[in-house]
Structure 1
């Protein structure tokens, strides 16, 4: 799994969530809602500066964006592209199939 954070999304996370160099953001699956790949589950995020046992991790502008191993089930078979949506003034999530089994 790859996590890709666009420049615009990175700017939003820095300005709206106060993330800065050395900080972290954890993505995970939660009950309720829907995504293009899961019915009854949605994507959630929370600041978390201590990634333990990451399934996937990427660093962008000094921030570690990651998915913990416990949430592999939610992302398995997909890469996550996080972009900025100006109409929502927030992040937009795109799931791209990958060849991971």
Structure 2
């Protein structure tokens, strides 16, 4: 599983979550919502320190991570997080497995 975030998406997180250098952002599996990789679950976001990170991505002094206990959610799919200027929001793009 690969995990990446575009520069504009990193800036969105910095602005929306009031992040500073040295902060951490966790992506985790949460019950409810809509996902193309896990029915009945969606991707949650929280500002917290890592405990047992399985995947990390660092940019602009911020560490984005996925904990080992949440890696199942991705089902061997890669995750790319992008920012849409048109909608002023981020989007999650999954690739691999059935989703190329």
TM-score, with structure 1 as normaliser: 0.88
Give the aligned CA root-mean-square deviation in angstroms: 1.3
Instruction: Count residues with an aligned counterpart.
Output: 97
Q: Shift of residue 2 of structure 1?
A: 2.0
Q: Shift of residue 88 of structure 1?
A: 3.3
CA distance in 2, matches of 1:84, 1:54: 24
Higher share of residues assigned strand: 1
Q: Deviations over 1:51-98 (max 9, x none)?
A: 111111111111100000110110230111011123432210001116
Q: Specify every segment of 5 or more residues in structure 1 that has no aligned partner in the other structure, as ranges.
A: none
Conserved? CA contact 2:29–2:70, under 8 Å: yes
CA distance in 2, matches of 1:41, 1:87: 26
Structure 2 counterpart of 1:64: 63
Q: Specify every segment of 5 or more residues in structure 2 that has no aligned partner in the other structure, as ranges.
A: none
SS in 1 for 2:33: strand
Conserved? CA contact 1:27–1:44, under 8 Å: yes
TM-score, with structure 2 as normaliser: 0.89
